[in-house]
Amino acid sequence: MGVPGGRIVGRGCGKPPLGPLLGLLLSLLGAEAAFSQPYDTEFTFVLPAGRQECFYQTTGFNSSMEVEYQVIGGAGLDVDFTVVGPTGAKLITEYRRSDGVHTIEPTQEGDYKICFDNSFSTISEKLIFFEVIFDDAEDRDRDWAEVVEPEEVLDIKIEDIKESIGMVNNKLGKSMQIQAVLRAFEARDRNVLEGNLQRVNFWSAVNLGVMLTVSFLQVYMLKNLFADRRKVRT
């Protein structure tokens, strides 16, 4: 996910300057990040009223990217959702939705722009959860092949072991994704229940106040009806 850039600020203390060394280190880290496979990401953030927030995700060529989002807090539980490809074309556009799941396959090399728009709301902010999931079986198989080499002297085939471990790895990844989605559902349901509880308490207090007022008025009116207002002369 795209994050705001930072800078390293140093102060002289009598030692040799570290600028060239830091520059070389950062360039090596940047090169490693550029050639590495993007990781699955999940994120929860608050989208203020009347605002739009966009996130950038770098992808490789001919991969599979799945984007899932849920509005778990805020009035209406809805938001506008847009995905823009590296070429600038709008791939996905949705209006006033509470959740959605979209798969982009195959992907293009470059940065995908994922936007959430709450400009239609003037008062209520929204709490949004979304995750980006990548699935590239060829890369995983190639990674396993680089780590483990088959041995002819072994009775058990290394390929079978790699396949079993890969299946376990995939199932564990799916389990983590399902748990993240269930946590988002739980947070949204809890927010809805808390909002309903506040409304029930408010209107219950209003009804109680009205009932007490009516009761006092009835007692007062009945007391006045049976009151003896005749003057007694002695």
Cα(169)–Cα(175) distance, integer angstroms: 10
pTM given for the model: 0.53
Burial of 40 from C-beta contacts in 10 A (0-12 / 13-18 / 19+) = middle
pLDDT in tens, 67-98: 999 898 888 889 999 999 999 999 999 999 98
Among 29-33, 52-56, 102-106, 155-159, whose mean pLDDT is lowest?
29-33
Burial of 126 from C-beta contacts in 10 A (0-12 / 13-18 / 19+) = buried
Residue 47: pLDDT band (50, 70, 90) is very high
Burial of 125 from C-beta contacts in 10 A (0-12 / 13-18 / 19+) = middle
Give residue for tokens 């564990």. 172
Give residue for tokens 């203020």. 48
pLDDT: which is higher, 197 or 37: 197
CB of 60 closer than 8 Å to CB of 109: yes
pLDDT at position 117 over 90 = yes
The residues with which 65 forms a beta bridge, in sequence order, are: 104, 134
Mean pLDDT of 17-35: 43
Query: Which residue ranges make up each domain of the chain?
Result: 36-139
Judging by DSSP bridges, how do beta strands 52-59 and 110-117 pair with one another?
A: antiparallel
Q: Which amino acid is at 106?
A: P
Which CATH architecture is the domain 36-139 placed in?
Answer: Sandwich (2.60)
> Average pLDDT of the chain?
75
How many CB atoms are closer than 10 A to CB 100? 15
